[in-house]
Structures are given as structure tokens and as C-alpha cells.
Amino acid sequence: MSHTTPLAPEAADLLTWYDRHRRVLPWRALPSETPDPYRVWLSEVMLQQTTIAAVKPYFQKFLERFPTVEALAEAPEESVMSAWAGLGYYSRARNLHACAKAVAAAGRFPDTAAALRKLPGIGAYTAGAVAAIAFDRPEAAVDGNVERVMTRLFAIETTLPAARPEIRLVTQALVPSDRPGDFAQAVMDLGATICTPKRPACALCPWMAPCRARTLGLQETFPRKVKAVKGTLRRGAAFVAIRSGDEAILLRTRPPEGLLGAMAEPPMSPWEPDYDPAQALLDAPLDARWKRLPGLVRHGFTHFPLELTVFCAKVALSTAAPAGMRFTPRRDLDDEPLPGVMKKVLAHAFDPKPEPEKAAKPGRPKAMRSVPDTPLFADPEPESIPPQPRFRPVPKPTPRPAPAPPRDIDDEMGGFEAPADAAPPVGPRKRGRPRTR
């Protein structure tokens, strides 16, 4: 009995596919161009935990504002955080700025993965991606797309994140000495366009034959993952003070470390699971006629969901900002490093949205929804009182006696006369034209 050996995936097959189907991206060099390490590094940092569609407009604006790594290094931190606002994971922006300063001081980007790892904010994936794509080093670059491709290709049963060392090993073994940068981008493109999380287009895949998960018919079940545990809901209050005259908003800067570090925000209460909005005015930044707005601002962070109650107040033009805070005119808010959740808060303050009404529970007929519920302990009806009828009974009318047939008709019919003992007709004859024979 002969046993067929499973086919091994070949890098050449993937590169042939890539030459025909490669995506055109703002940070990706064309086949005849030399990659720019600054653009490669900047795009890889932006793409961490963020989609290509979200990154594209930010990447273009960021390059217009900071066209070189030297320009980024010389920029104030507030400008960098403002340009990053909306991309999330703001520690990346602080590390980006620190890394730019280190590269500018050195005069260039390091060209090996080991040297790149020493820079602020550069981990194993970013180091491998920049080394491979920008400097053509034979390094593996393993992101989420690559993890999906490799776990399916080799049917890796280990769950993520424990499977990452094994995934890196099998990926590194496939990296060719020729065109390693194109190979890194090819695997990413394969995962993004063919080997998708749901309904992968296996028939179009250059690695269809050697893919073990496809052979087993289990491709959509890889990679194996441990189910994420949703964090506890936290609540808090946001205070939006609007200055009369220029509609300036009271803002402050969050501490440099921790969640949303060094970003701008309207003054906030602590975010706690048992926060009571009824006591929120104790956390207000200044004395004013605070008005609680209808509805809530909801936002999801990686580890927990958040619900904010928004309080708004109009203050006089002469109002001084409390220590550590500032008034920013509404027209200048775009220059503030406001993260997405804070933009939601300000939008709600200027245009509050009430909570949507809860839909009726399914299964109950519409005709019954308008019927009021009977009180649980309602007094019973007295049994001695009979139910009243909804209409007055009308007695059945007595039928009229049938009239005798007119004599003149009988005379015309030949003088016929009914016998004295003949039974009368059942009912009166219908009016109208007499019947003819």
C-alpha cells in the first residue's frame, strides 16, 4: 500500500500569485521602487490593532504633517498626539515619537531585526516587518493575517496566543532568501483577500493543495482561540463647560501613563463599576448650573465597556480655568489630541441623543399590547351582581296572518274558489309583480 506524502508549501507559488494580485497601498513601494524605511515603519505601527481602511486617511495626513522621521522627531508631543487622535491605542503614538527621536539621533534606521528591536515601541513583529520589507532581510513578519494563514496551512491545534512561537517557526522556515520583503507582504495579502476569517476562497489560493486544514474541511475553525472574557462595565460622568462668547470648551490633559495617556478630555469623574450619576456633581470641576443631558455615551475599550453620563453648563466669558485645565475655542478643537470617546462626549453635549425606547418583547400579539394588565391583587367582582348584558333583548315578533286571496283575481281565473277547509298559505306573498304561469 502506498502512502502519499503531503505537499509542502512553496514560497515561489505564493510569489507568483503576489506578482499578479498584489494590493496597491499608500505605504507600499511599487515593483520598480526602493521601499522607504520611514513609510514602512510608520505604516506598520499604525496598522497594529487597526484596519487598513481606517489607517489610509491618517497615514496621508500624518505624512503631510511630518514628511520625514526628522520632522516627526522635532515636532512637539502635543502635535503628534493630535495627529494620532482617533486611531486609538495611544501608547503607540508616544512610542512612535520616542522612536523617531532615537532614529533621528542615530542618523538612519537600523537595517536588522535585532537592532530594530532596541528602539522604543518596536516589538518582534514590527522589527521583522521593517527588516524584511524595507531592507530585504530574510525575517518573518507575523501579524493576524499571517497567523491565520499558517495555522490553516499546517493545521496548528495550539490555541492563540500560546501558538505564536510555533507559528513564527513555521513562517520563518518558509521565508526565501530571494525577495523576503515581497514574501512578507504576499502572506499578508493572502490572509487579507483569500484566506479570510469567514468563507475563505480556497479555490483561488496558491497554497490550496498543501493546506492541511482545507484537506480536513476545517479551514474556518483555525486559528484556535481561547474565548475572550468581556470586562466589567464601568460608569462615569463627563463635564462639558461651554464658555459664553467663543463657545470655548474646558479641557485637561490626561496623565502621560495609562489608558489614553497624554490625550485631551473634558473633566471626568473616575470610571468605576458602581459609579452613581446621582452623586456626580461632587466631581464637577467648577461651580456652575450643571444640566444632566438625556442619554448616555457608550464606548468599548479592549478590556472593558464604558458608559458616561454627560453634564453640560454654560459659564461666563470671564470664568477662569481651574488649575491644570484650559479653555479651547470650539473652532480649535481639531488641534487638540481628543480620542474617539472624548469626541463622542463633545458631540453629545452639542446634540444630545436620548436613550432609544426598548422594543416590545417578541411573541406577544400586537392586539394585546394595548390592553392594560390586570392588577395582581385587584378586588374580585361581587358574585351577587349578575353581569350586565351589552344589548337590550328584543322579543321575537308574532307573525301576521296571511291575507285572503283577492276575489277579483280568482274571478279572472275562471271563478275558482278555495274550499272552506283548505290550509292557509305558509307566509304572506311577496310584493311586486304577480307571477305568471
Q: Do 239 and 267 form a contact (C-beta atoms < 8 A)? A: yes
Catalytic site includes residue 336: no
**Set of cell numbers at residue 10:** 512553496
Among 310, 313, 384, residue whose Cα is nearest residue 352: 310
Among 273, 275, 289, residue whose Cα is nearest residue 239: 289
Annotated catalytic residue within 33, 44, 78, 381: 44
Residue with cell 476562497: 201
Q: What is the C-alpha separation between 222 and 209, in angstroms, rounded?
A: 17
Residues 166/167/173/178 CA torsion (nearest 10 deg): -160
**Set of cell numbers at residue 99:** 522612536
Residue with cell 500624518: 62
Burial 71-84 (b: 16+ CB within 10 A, else e): ebbebeeebbbbbb
Q: Do 139 and 185 form a contact (C-beta atoms < 8 A)? A: no
* 239 φ, ψ (degrees, to nearest 5): -120, 115
Among 234, 344, 245, residue whose Cα is nearest residue 297: 344
Residue 370 one-letter amino acid:
S
Residue 128 one-letter amino acid:
G
Q: Do 325 and 250 form a contact (C-beta atoms < 8 A)? A: yes
Residue 265 one-letter amino acid:
E
Please give the full DSSP string across 139-170, using - where no structure is assigned. Answer: -----HHHHHHHHHHTT--SPBTTTHHHHHHH
Q: Do 170 and 222 form a contact (C-beta atoms < 8 A)? A: no
Residue 61 one-letter amino acid:
K
Query: Which residues, 6 or more positions from 206, have their beta carbon under 8 angstroms from its beta carbon?
Result: 13, 14, 16, 17, 190
Among 301, 268, 255, 264, residue whose Cα is nearest residue 89: 301
Annotated catalytic residues are 44
